[in-house]
Amino acid sequence: EVQLVESGGALVQPGGSLRLSCAASEFTISDHYMDWVRQAPGKGLEWVGRTRNKVKSYTTEYAASVKGRFTISRDESKNSVYLQMNSLKSEDTAVYYCARVYGGKGNALDLWGQGTMVTVSS
């Protein structure tokens, strides 16, 4: 089955760090850009950032709210994407989703993981 599975969510103290993982199955991430999107409890969707593929030199993009604190990377040998989160704040509390960007569909996010919960609290 074509799917994305996130892991690594946890309760972490303000100022702490956490690394989320997103494992892809039945497709190759090397063909795609991959995004992270988050959703705070009871709120809407917020785009977090992106890792582009080899064709675009694995460049990254970030939302202003996380730039300088979060880093997105990929390991194509493991067919996985990662979100390293540093200097965490209470407002980073959210469900974090990874999603596949489908270039042939106007860059829509056509495949989503089930999400992993990150809680930042003392």
Partner 1 sequence: DVQMTQSPSSLSVSVGDRVTITCRASQSISTYLNWYLQKPGKAPKLLIYASSSLQSGVPSRFSGSGSGTDFTLTISSLQPEDFATYYCQQSYTAQFTFGPGTKVDI
- Minimum distance, C-beta of residue 45 to partner 1, in the bound complex (Å): 4
Binding to partner 1 (CB under 8 A): which residues in 65-94? none
Nearer to partner 1, 61 or 76 (CB): 61
Residue 47 interacts with partner 1 (CB under 8 A)?
yes
CB-hemisphere CA count at 13 Å for 83?
A: 33
Contact (CB, 8 A) for 49 and 25: no
- Minimum distance, C-beta of residue 19 to partner 1, in the bound complex (Å): 20
Residues 6 or more apart in contact with residue 46 via CB below 8 angstroms? 37, 38, 39, 40, 63, 65, 94
Number of chain positions touching partner 1 (CB under 8 A): 24
Tokens linked to 66: 């996380």
Q: Which of 113, 118, 104 is nearest to 35 (CA)?
A: 113
Q: Which of 21, 48, 6, 18 is nearest to 121 (CA)?
A: 18
Residue 8 interacts with partner 1 (CB under 8 A)?
no
One of 5, 10, 23, 45 touching partner 1 (CB under 8 A): 45
Residue 35 interacts with partner 1 (CB under 8 A)?
yes
Nearer to partner 1, 16 or 61 (CB): 61
Binding site for partner 1 (CB under 8 A): 35, 37, 44-47, 50, 61-64, 97, 101-102, 105-110, 112-115
